[in-house]
Amino acid sequence: MRRHLLACADCNAIYRERLLADARWRRTLARVEQDTDEGEDEGRDDGAARRPVLSPVAVVRAGFGGKVRGKVVLVVVLAIVFYAAVRLTPDPSGTARAELTVQSGRVASVGEPQGPGEPMRQLQRGDWVRTAEGSSARLALGQTVVEVASSTVVQVEEPSTRRLRLESGVLDTRGPLTITSRFGLVEVEQGAAHVTLDSRGVTVEVREGQARVLDSRGEQRLGSGRTGVLGFAR
């Protein structure tokens, strides 16, 4: 499977979207269970036993009757529809386009290469940015600022949700940002992070705040000062 994902861009894109969807679905379930637990705690004594909250999967596996199972399925379907609506709704703190400014050297994006001092260039979903050796650029996606280092290839996947795809090179980001790659994804929830992609994988150094990384081996949360590596499971 890993060999196929490296060779097939279409399957790789589907694989990355599934990783992102599964991770956000698990986070949604965790928040619902936490809110339910907190509500139950307010209505009982401190010494009362804590009642476990079952996940939808556990409920279905319990083998209830047809009517109850039908209600469970309906709730799950409604939850999925709600998730899809939230997932496709643009982030209000994002923007319809990304703004590209060249810091040094020559940077290829839309049309002719761009140099320092030239007017800022507006990039939309699907546009690529390629910095030559010795060049650098800056991408602004709403309030998020991304420094694109020398010899880097990055795509603006969706500016409204602040999502970039890193093919190679180095990114320094300040502010919320999702970075996808063939190895998995990095979700900088807040603060600043240094992200490097080479042939071995993706290295994430959280310089401030916190981030979440997800690859074929699972999910990992990183706090300030911590470093994580994404790669294919061996």
DSSP label at residue 199: T
Q: Does 205 score more than 90 pLDDT? A: yes
H runs (alpha helix) in the chain: 2-7, 9-42, 56-61, 66-88
- Please report where in the chains the tokens 């500016």 appear, as a residue: 159
* Percent of the chain at pLDDT exceeding 70: 66
Lowest mean pLDDT among 83-97, 121-135, 167-181, 202-216: 83-97
Cα–Cα distance measured from residue 151 to residue 104, given in angstroms and rounded to the nearest whole number: 12
> Which tens digit of pLDDT belongs to each residue from 24-81?
666 666 666 565 555 555 555 444 444 444 444 454 445 545 555 555 556 556 666 6
Cα–Cα distance measured from residue 82 to residue 132, given in angstroms and rounded to the nearest whole number: 43
Q: What is the mean pLDDT of residues 167-175?
A: 96
Cite the residue boundaries of each domain of the chain with CATH code 2.60.120.1440.
Answer: 98-230
Q: Which CATH architecture has domain 98-230?
A: Sandwich (2.60)
CB burial of 58-82 (b: ≥16 within 10 Å; e: otherwise) equals ebeeeeeeeeeeeeeeeeeeeeeee
- Among candidates 149, 207, 202, 210, which has minimal Cα distance to 180? 202
How many other C-beta atoms can be found within 10 angstroms of the C-beta atom of residue 35?
A: 11
pLDDT, residue 197, reads: 94
Q: What is the mean pLDDT of residues 93-97?
A: 67
